Chains A and B, each alone.
Chain A
């Protein structure tokens, strides 16, 4: 079964520190990876997409991808209380017939402590 695994948390980080969120996936053929932020009771909001090995930076956010190890991570620098949310990792999975769709992890609950 194709899976995306995340530590559910909560992950507690002091304000101003770096928050590090990790995700592993089971499909070695996956090529497209996304991070979504979801506030309680709201819909997921796309933060980052990454398709190639290495780092991708956007403002305070950095996505890191290592396909050989099958993990993708999200770093949030200078964490703010407004970053407190659940962060969903999503991976495009494949089967013999092609892309099976976007599989989400259950998310990591991040708490930024003032």
Chain B
């Protein structure tokens, strides 16, 4: 079945220790998104790729970076995680732009010690 896959499902890191989260998709969608969701809050868009074009949200901290080496894979790098970065990180894809339905992966729960 076509799907969005995220690894790992749970990630524990130490304060300031870089961490990379990965997302892959078999839907062959052009757009991949990264969201941050904290407890009882709405998902917050960090950035997205439309094909190879990177689009950063204005309020996304510089501590967060992303890479999309090919259509199927996208990575979220957190260079120096702080306690406030503990959250669920959600990867989503859509066929073309925002107007299309977005499909989410299972998420990665990040804990910062």
What 1/0 flags go to B77-113 for Cβ under 8 Å of A?
0000000000010100000011101111111010000
What 1/0 flags go to A45-83 for Cβ under 8 Å of B?
110010000000000000000000000000000000000
Residues 60-114 (chain A) with a chain B CB within 8 angstroms: 88, 90, 92, 99-107
A32 at the B interface (CB under 8 A): yes
- Judged by DSSP, the binding face of A is strand
Q: How far is the CB of A47 from chain B (nearest CB, A)?
A: 10
- For residue A103, which residue of chain B has the nearest CB? B42
Question: Interface size (A, Cβ < 8 Å)?
Answer: 24
CA distance A31 to B99 in the complex (A): 8
Q: Is the CB of B43 within 8 A of A104?
A: yes
Q: Is the CB of A102 within 8 A of B90?
A: no
Q: List 22 A-B contacts (CB under 8 A).
A: A31-B99, A32-B99, A34-B102, A42-B106, A42-B107, A43-B104, A43-B105, A43-B106, A44-B43, A44-B104, A46-B102, A46-B104, A90-B102, A92-B99, A99-B97, A99-B99, A101-B57, A102-B45, A102-B98, A104-B43, A105-B42, A106-B41
Taking A44-B43, A106-B40 as given, write out 14 further A-B residue pairs in contact, using a Cβ cutoff of 8 Å, ordered by the A residue number.
Answer: A32-B99, A36-B104, A46-B101, A49-B101, A92-B99, A99-B97, A101-B48, A101-B57, A102-B45, A103-B42, A104-B43, A105-B42, A106-B41, A107-B42
Binding site for A on B (CB under 8 A): 40-43, 45, 48, 57, 88, 90, 97-99, 101-107, 109
Binding site for B on A (CB under 8 A): 4, 31-32, 34, 36, 41-46, 49, 88, 90, 92, 99-107
